[in-house]
Amino acid sequence: MTPQALFPTNSFKGALHLEMFNLQNGSSPTLLATSIRQYSRSFEQQQTHVFWTQRKVPSGIRSALARECGNRHFDIAHPASLPVHLRSGHWQQLIDALQDPQALDRWQQALLVRLLTSLGMHGCAIASLEAPTDLHPGSSEADYQYANALARARFLSHKETGAGYRDRYRPEDYWHIVNQRRFGSPAACSATFSLMLQYITEEPDISQAQALAHLLREQAQSIDDDFGRCFVLSVFHRGYALLPARDARLDEMIRHMDLADEYSSKVLDSGDPYLSLVAQENRYSVLESRIKEKFMIEDFGAAGRFAEQLLQLDPLDARALMSVGEAFAAVGDYERAAGSYSRAAHCGPLYTAAAWFMAGQCHAAIGQKEHSALCLLESLRIDPKAISAAEALAMLDPSCPTSAWAASRKLALEAESQ
């Protein structure tokens, strides 16, 4: 059965995210889809992967996609909830694996968790697979990779609840791996990086973050193979750059970002599909951070150049397009900014309402009122509670009926929020 036959609408967005819906290979070029496809194939072929991808996929992505593509069948939290006629072969394999995950070996279990996490099904991963309780210094890398994947799923899931992830998340999941796993192993590096990031972004006391950073750098430098060392060093420097950024030590921040950039470029041509994905994904994160860094120092020209690179790397990724739009808008190139935001809206989800809103603002800035109004209305259609879009539309052209409607809509939303 063709992807088009499986997918009930001929929506562009649906085709772009076909992997997310049912693991059907739609040849989508986005890194997000590539990552899902890679994990799916690796799981099927029982491959071993030691490095990790960094993109966080929120569980809300599924319901947003289903809503925007017009098919609620895909708004599911567990693979088995997908109606039988919409399941691809790979999807059925995923369901079968979830029926008895204990029958899988540790590498497969680790890949299964990563696959579910890349599909935005963290809750399903946590509910279906049990965290290992018998980890010890002699446990295998597969055991630690599995524990690490589950810790990440728990972290993502609890962070999304909005109730304060520290109340329910267990940092000891990561600490256990950091303390017990072989120094410099991929699992240990990944867990150390996760903890370092949390301490940098969440804790007022930086001593623990600094200790973890020191540990991660030492681990990275101890790695023998070039790919592993450069990858981990790139990840380290990008994460660590947040620490000087916290105190506005801009030169230090730039130095670390330059290093992250340099190391990320070194590993791009690995030849192996999985390692290429890991390297590209890392490059994506580095470029995204570089845009933010350049914004921080108000070097908008450099931000634009990094935005161009990001666009070349992942031209149909909504998040990348949002960053690119922001970079163009910052230098006053509203025409290109509007184009990037509109494209982000078509490539969504998750940023669709915000992308339409920003596109509307950019069109308004260059006097394209009609286009602006259409974008703002789209934003309100995607998110009927988007009060900023209602406000912008109300102020756009007072003589236009859209303004009168938006003004009353804004009042209604304000009343609702009170």
Q: How far is the CB of 37 from another protein (least distance, A)?
A: 14
CA 189 to chain centre: 20
Q: Which of 208, 210, 371, 407 binds another protein (CB under 8 A)?
A: 371
Using rule CB under 8 A, residue 361 touches another protein: no
Q: Which two tokens stand for residue 368?
A: 């394209």
Using rule CB under 8 A, residue 409 touches another protein: yes
- Residue 4: partners with Cβ closer than 8 Å, 6 or more residues away: 10, 15
Nearer to another protein, 259 or 302 (CB): 302
Using rule CB under 8 A, residue 305 touches another protein: no
For the beta carbon of residue 327, count every other beta carbon within 10 angstroms.
28
Buried b (16+ CB within 10 A) or exposed e, 198-208: bbbeeeeeeee
Query: Which position has the token pair 């002699």?
Result: 138
Query: What is the rounded CA–CA span in Å between residue 383 and residue 338?
Result: 19
Q: How far is the CB of 288 from another protein (least distance, A)?
A: 19
What sign does the dihedral 174-179-181-184 (CA atoms) show? positive
Q: Which of 114, 290, 343, 410 binds another protein (CB under 8 A)?
A: 343
Buried b (16+ CB within 10 A) or exposed e, 348-378: bbbbbbbbbbbbbbbbbeeebeebbbbbbbb
Nearer to another protein, 190 or 342 (CB): 342
Using rule CB under 8 A, residue 312 touches another protein: yes
Which of 268, 262, 346, 257 is closest to 296 using CA atoms? Answer: 257
Using rule CB under 8 A, residue 114 touches another protein: no
Query: What is the rounded CA–CA span in Å between residue 321 and residue 351?
Result: 10
Using rule CB under 8 A, residue 374 touches another protein: yes
Q: Which of 1, 29, 179, 226 binds another protein (CB under 8 A)?
A: 29
Query: Which position has the token pair 């579910």?
Result: 116
Q: How far is the CB of 306 from another protein (least distance, A)?
A: 16
Which of 5, 55, 59 is closest to 30 using CA atoms? Answer: 55
Asked if the bond preceding 349 is cis, omega within 30° of 0, the reply is: yes
Q: How far is the CB of 409 from another protein (least distance, A)?
A: 7
Q: How far is the CB of 74 from another protein (least distance, A)?
A: 17
Q: Helix, strand, coil proportions of the chain in percent (round to 5)? A: 70, 0, 30
Nearer to another protein, 68 or 293 (CB): 68
Part in contact with another protein (CB under 8 A); list of ranges 23-31, 89-97, 179-187, 226-234: 23-31
Using rule CB under 8 A, residue 338 touches another protein: yes
Using rule CB under 8 A, residue 342 touches another protein: yes
Q: Which of 50, 177, 257, 316 binds another protein (CB under 8 A)?
A: 316
Residue type, 416: E
Q: Which of 125, 245, 260, 373 binds another protein (CB under 8 A)?
A: 373
Q: How far is the CB of 271 from another protein (least distance, A)?
A: 23
Q: How far is the CB of 60 from another protein (least distance, A)?
A: 19
Residues at the interface with another protein (CB under 8 A)? 4, 9-12, 15-16, 27-29, 312, 315-316, 335-336, 338-339, 342-343, 346, 368, 370-371, 373-374, 377-378, 380-381, 384, 401-402, 404-406, 408-409, 412
